[in-house]
Amino acid sequence: MATGKTEWKFEILDISKVDLNALRAHFPVKEIEKAIGKAVRATKQHTKIDGVRVFEDVATQFRR
């Protein structure tokens, strides 16, 4: 006896057209924070993301 199994797959045809808002519910907040962190480290004060405040945090370090 043989059975069939259906599996849904996908192929990204143009990554620039993928609507990330449609995927928002499938990303944990930690993953979104990680992506924002990468963007901020790459573009620093030039980062423009709605809903995100980007700022410089300066801390003094002393060597022993």
Which pLDDT score is estimated for 63? Answer: 87
pTM of the model as a whole: 0.69
- 40 Cβ contact partners less than 8 Å away, ≥ 6 residues apart: 47, 54
Q: What is the residue-level pLDDT of the chain in tens, covering all 64 positions?
A: 889 999 999 999 999 999 989 999 999 999 999 999 999 999 999 999 999 999 999 999 898 8
Alpha carbons 58 and 48: distance in angstroms, whole number: 20
Give the separation between CA 18 and CA 14, rounded to whole angstroms.
Answer: 7
Q: Please state the domain extents for the chain.
A: 21-64
